[in-house]
Amino acid sequence: MAKLTPFAWIAAVAAGILSLAGHQVSAAAVDGSELPFPPVPSASKAGPTLQTSVHHRRAQPNHLAKDAPNVLIILIDDVGYGQASTYGGEINTPNLTRIAQSGISYNAFHNTSICSPTRAALLTGRNHQRVGSGTIAERAVDWDGYTGVIPKTSATVAEVLKNYGYKTAAFGKWHNTPADQTTAMGPFDKWPNGYGFEYFYGFLAGETSQWEPRLAENTSIIEPPNTPGYHLTEDLADHAIGWLKKHQSYTPDKPFFIYFATGGAHGPHHVAPAWTAKYKGKFDDGYEAMRERIIKRQKESGWVPQATELTRRVESMPAWDSIPASERPFQLRLMETFAGFVEHTDAQVGRVIDELERTGKRDNTIIMYIFGDNGASAEGQRGSISELLAQNNIPNTVDQQIAALNKIGGLDAIGSHKTDNMYHAGWAWAGNTPLKSTKLVAAHFGGTRSPMAISWPAKIKPDGTPRAQFHHVNDIAPTLYELIGIKPPKMVNGYKQDPIDGISMAYTLSDAQANTRKRVQYFENSGSRGIYKDGWFAAAFGPFVPWDSAGSSAGIATWDSAQDKWELYNLNDDFSQARDLADKNPRKLVELKKEFDRQAKENKVWPVGAGAWLRIHPEDRLASPYTSWTFSDQTRRMPEFTAPGLGRQSNRVVIDAELGENASGVLYALGGAGGGLAFYMDKGKLVYEYNMMLIENYRAESGVIPAGQHQIIVDTQLESAKPMAPATVTVTVDGQEVAKTVVARTVPGAFTASESFDVGVDLGATVSLVYDERRPFAFSGKINQVRVELKK
C-alpha cells in the first residue's frame, strides 16, 4: 500500500470506524487514490448505505413568500407637522421628499404625543397603555398602564418577523427599557435584543448628546469613537450601512427589517455650525409670521384642505413681539440650530436609502418615513441652554440663560457639546402649523399628528394625493403583516398574545379616496386626553402646560380630572381643530366622553394623569433599591437612574485613595455638561463642583493635599426633603475640613437623561468645563475604594 499523507491517514481511520458500524463510506485520499475498505453487509439486509445514498442538505423551513419585501421604518424625533419642506415647512428635507414623491403620503396620521409610548405602540400594534407605556420610561410608576415594561404577551413586529425568517436590526433611540434596567448588568430581556432585534446600535435613554452619546451595542455598553467631528446621527447611518453590507454578504436571500430611529431632532439640538449657518436670517420675522407662510404653502400644495383654519395662539404662549430685542439673537440662533439639526438628520437618512439603491434592494423595500414620534417640542420653554430645567420644573429666566451662555462662549456655544440647548416653545408651536399645541398635549393634533410617507416601488404607484384617512402608529404593525402576507401569531415564544388594537392601512395604498376604516382611537398623556370616533373628536387639555412646565406644577397638585372642560370637533370639516362645538352639540360630547371611559377601562389608562405623577412627587421616581454602595476604580457608565442620588439626597462619600505629587483627575462624577456634580483634583487641590443645569455653579476648593494615602470624605446635607432644597457640602481629608460650600438649590429629579456616574474619570459630556479639554480627565493616583451611603 502506498504511504498515506497525514490527512489521508485520518480519513482512513475515520472510514474504518464507520465501516465497523456497518456503513460503507467512499472516501478518497488527498493524493486521489481510493482507500481500501473491508466488505460490509449488503444494503438489502442492512438498509441503505452511505455509499448508495445521495446526501442532500436538509431543506430549511420557509414561512414567507418568495418575494417577501424588506422593511425600513424611519422615525424622526420631536419634529412637527409643519416643519418639513416636503409638506410646506421651512426646513429642507429632500430625503423625506424623495420618499414621498416615489410613494404616497398621509396627512392625518397620529402618534401618542410623547416618545416611549409612541414607540411601544408602533412596534407592537397595541395601544400604549395596554403595553405598559403610558408615559416615558424615566417617568414610569407602579400602575398597570405605566410600568414602562412592554409585556411579552404583546410581541413586537421585530420579534414576529424574526421568527418568520427576517433579519432584524435597530439603530438609534430605543427608550423602551425601564430606566432602572439599563446598566451593564441588565437584565437584558427588555433591551432591543430581548424584543426581537438581532442587532442594536444606539442609546437606551430618551435623549443623549450627539457629540458624546452614551451608546450600547447589543448588550454591551460602549464609548463613541474619539474622532474629530464625530456626530451620532452620522454614526448611526454608518452602522446601518455597515449592517446592510454584512446582510448582503452573509444572508442576501433573507429579507430584512430595520428600525432607524434617530435621536435627531430631540434635544439637545447639536449640530455642526455649517448646518446652522444655512438658516441664518431665515426666521428673523418670528414664529407667527412663519405660521402664515407655512399654511399658505400647505394649501397651495394640497397638503391640507383649502378650508383649513390657522389655529390661534393661546395667551400662555408669548407673542414674538413680546420678546425683547436684546433676547432675539439668542432665540433666533436656537431656531437656526434646530433647523440645521433637522436637515442634517434627513441627510443621514438619505445615506441609508442610497445604500439600498446601490445594492439593488430599494425596489422591494417598504420604506415608512414617519416625521415625528410626537409633535414639535415646547420643552425649551422660553429658550434654554439646559433642557432638563423644564423636566425638573426649575424656575429660571432667559436673562439667566443668556448670562450663563456668555460665560461659555456666547451664541457660538449653542449647538456645541457645552450646552444642552432647546429652542423657544414658540418655534415648536409654529412648527406644528396649522394645528393647536405641541408635544405632550394629547388633546390637540399639534401634539399627536405627524406626516408620514410610504414608498415601495415594486408595489405602490406614486401618487401625490394625500391620504386623509385617520390612522395611528398602532396601525403600522398590522399594515406590515398584511403587506408581507403573514398573520399576527396567537402565540409567540410561549406567550399567548394580547389583541392587536391597530388596523391595516393597506386599503389606502391604491385608493386615496377610500373611507376611513379606523373607527375609534383614544389618546392620553399626563391627563391630556382625547377620543376619535367616526369623524368626531372630543378632548380635554389636562393640567400640564408644556410651554410652562414650572408654572404647571401647582395646577397638577390640585387637579381634578372630573372638572376638566372638554372640547368637541367635527373633523369632517375642521381639519385643524379650530372650531369647538362642545356648547353646540352637548349630546355628541357626552357620547364621546362615554366612549373614552370605555377605552380607558379596556386599555389600562386609569388613573388618568398617572404620567404626570412624578412632576409633583419626584420622590417616587425610579431609583436604586440600595442605600449604600462600594465602588472600585473600574465603575463606569452607571446610569443616573440607578446611581446614588448624590445631587438630590443627603449622602456621605468616603474615598480611600493614594495621591501622587500634585495629583489631578476625576475622583467621581455624576451627570454631564447640562447638569451634574464632580469631585476632582487639579494640581494637588481637591475641587467639588455642582453644575446646577448650567445656570448656577457652586464650588468648594481645598489647598494642596500632600502625596500619600488619604481618606477623603464628601458630606452632603440637604436642609429638607423638599424638592430643590439647599445643601451644605463639606470636604474633609483624614478628619480635617479642607473645603465647604452651600448649594443654594438642588436638582429634584435628574441632571440628565443618559449621562452616568463614573469613578476615576468623567465619561461623556464633562460636568465641568475646567477639565473639558482634558477629558475624560483620568485620575493620576490610585483609588482603592469609594463608599457611598445615603442618609435618612
Q: Which of 426, 449, 438 is nearest to 291 (CA)?
A: 426
Q: Is residue 35 predicted with pLDDT exceeding 80?
A: no
The residue that leads in pLDDT, 1 or 336, is: 336
Q: Tell me: the pLDDT tens digits for 313-326?
A: 999 999 999 999 99
Which pLDDT does position 54 carry in this prediction?
A: 64
Whether the CB-CB separation of 431 and 82 falls below 8 Å is answered with yes
Q: Is 680 helix (H, G, I), strand (E, B) or coil?
A: strand
Whether the CB-CB separation of 121 and 532 falls below 8 Å is answered with no
Whether the CB-CB separation of 703 and 738 falls below 8 Å is answered with yes
Which residues lie below 8 Å from residue 448, measured CB to CB, with a gap of 6+? 110, 111, 112, 113, 374, 375, 441, 442, 523, 530
Rounded alpha-carbon distances, angstroms, from residue 138 to 83, 185, 281, 577, 754: 28, 18, 37, 31, 10
In this prediction, residue 18 has a pLDDT band, given cuts at 50, 70 and 90, of very low
The residue that leads in pLDDT, 5 or 63, is: 63
The residue that leads in pLDDT, 19 or 107, is: 107
Which pLDDT does position 311 carry in this prediction?
A: 98
Which pLDDT does position 360 carry in this prediction?
A: 96
Q: Cα separation of 671 and 689, whole Å?
A: 12
Least confident of 46-55, 526-535, 776-785: 46-55
Compute the average pLDDT of residues 445-465.
Answer: 98
In this prediction, residue 553 has a pLDDT band, given cuts at 50, 70 and 90, of confident
Q: Tell me: the pLDDT tens digits for 40-70?
A: 444 445 556 656 666 667 877 888 999 999 9
Which pLDDT does position 616 carry in this prediction?
A: 85
Which residues lie below 8 Å from residue 728, measured CB to CB, with a gap of 6+? 716, 717, 719, 740, 741, 742, 743
Cell of 228: 474629530
Which pLDDT does position 624 carry in this prediction?
A: 83
Which residues lie below 8 Å from residue 519, measured CB to CB, with a gap of 6+? 533, 534
Compute the average pLDDT of residues 234-243.
Answer: 98
**pTM, full prediction:** 0.92
Give the amino acid at 400: Q
Q: Is residue 621 predicted with pLDDT exceeding 90?
A: no
153: exposed, middle or buried (C-beta count within 10 Å: 0-12, 13-18, 19+)?
middle
Which pLDDT does position 17 carry in this prediction?
A: 36
Least confident of 26-30, 266-270, 323-327: 26-30
> In the chain, how many H helices and how many E strands?
17, 28
The residue that leads in pLDDT, 366 or 553, is: 366
Q: Cα separation of 179 and 187, whole Å?
A: 11
Q: Tell me: the pLDDT tens digits for 285-308?
A: 999 999 999 999 999 999 999 999
Q: Is residue 10 predicted with pLDDT exceeding 50?
A: no
Whether the CB-CB separation of 725 and 746 falls below 8 Å is answered with yes
Compute the average pLDDT of residues 261-281.
Answer: 98
In this prediction, residue 672 has a pLDDT band, given cuts at 50, 70 and 90, of very high
Cell of 330: 439668542
**b/e per residue 670-709 (b: at least 16 CB within 10 A):** bbbbbbbbbbbbbebbbbbbbbbbbbbebebebeebeeee
Three-state SS string across 495-552, please? EECCCCCCCCCHHHCCCCCCCCCCCEEEEEECCEEEEEECCEEEEECCCCCHHHHHHH
Which pLDDT does position 217 carry in this prediction?
A: 98
Q: Tell me: the pLDDT tens digits for 81-140?
A: 999 999 999 999 999 999 999 999 999 999 999 999 999 999 999 999 999 999 999 999
Bridge partners of 532?
521, 537
Q: What is the strand order of the sheet 215-217 is part of?
A: 220-222, 215-217, 199-203, 167-173, 256-261, 70-75, 365-370, 449-455, 104-110, 471-472
In this prediction, residue 618 has a pLDDT band, given cuts at 50, 70 and 90, of confident
H helical segments located in 408-514 = 425-431, 445-448, 476-484
Compute the average pLDDT of residues 589-616.
Answer: 95
The share of the chain scoring above pLDDT 90, in percent, equals: 88
Compute the residue count for the chain: 792
Compute the average pLDDT of residues 439-448.
Answer: 98
Which pLDDT does position 551 carry in this prediction?
A: 86
Compute the average pLDDT of residues 569-584.
Answer: 98
Q: How many CB atoms lie within 10 A of CB 764?
A: 29
Q: Tell me: the pLDDT tens digits for 680-717?
A: 999 999 999 999 999 999 999 999 999 999 999 999 99
Which pLDDT does position 558 carry in this prediction?
A: 92
Compute the average pLDDT of residues 550-577.
Answer: 94
Which pLDDT does position 53 carry in this prediction?
A: 63
Compute the average pLDDT of residues 509-523.
Answer: 97
Which pLDDT does position 758 carry in this prediction?
A: 98
Q: Cα separation of 504 and 375, whole Å?
A: 23
Which pLDDT does position 42 carry in this prediction?
A: 47
Which pLDDT does position 46 carry in this prediction?
A: 54
Which pLDDT does position 5 carry in this prediction?
A: 47
Mean pLDDT score across all residues of the chain: 93
Which pLDDT does position 3 carry in this prediction?
A: 47
Which pLDDT does position 52 carry in this prediction?
A: 61
Which pLDDT does position 671 carry in this prediction?
A: 97
Compute the average pLDDT of residues 627-638.
Answer: 96
Q: Is residue 421 predicted with pLDDT exceeding 90?
A: yes
Give the amino acid at 20: L
Cis status, amide bond into 268, omega within 30 of 0: yes
Place of cell 439647599: 726
Q: Tell me: the pLDDT tens digits for 721-768?
A: 888 999 999 999 999 999 999 999 999 989 999 999 999 999 999 999
Which pLDDT does position 28 carry in this prediction?
A: 32
Q: Which of 40, 230, 75, 112 is nearest to 525 (CA)?
A: 112
**Pairing relationship of beta strands 782-790 and 756-759 according to DSSP bridges:** unpaired
Torsion of the alpha carbons at 466, 508, 468 and 160, rounded to the nearest 10: -110
Q: Cα separation of 631 and 373, whole Å?
A: 38
Dmax of the chain from CA atoms?
106
Give the amino acid at 625: P
Angle (CA) 192-78-433 rounded to 5° is 150
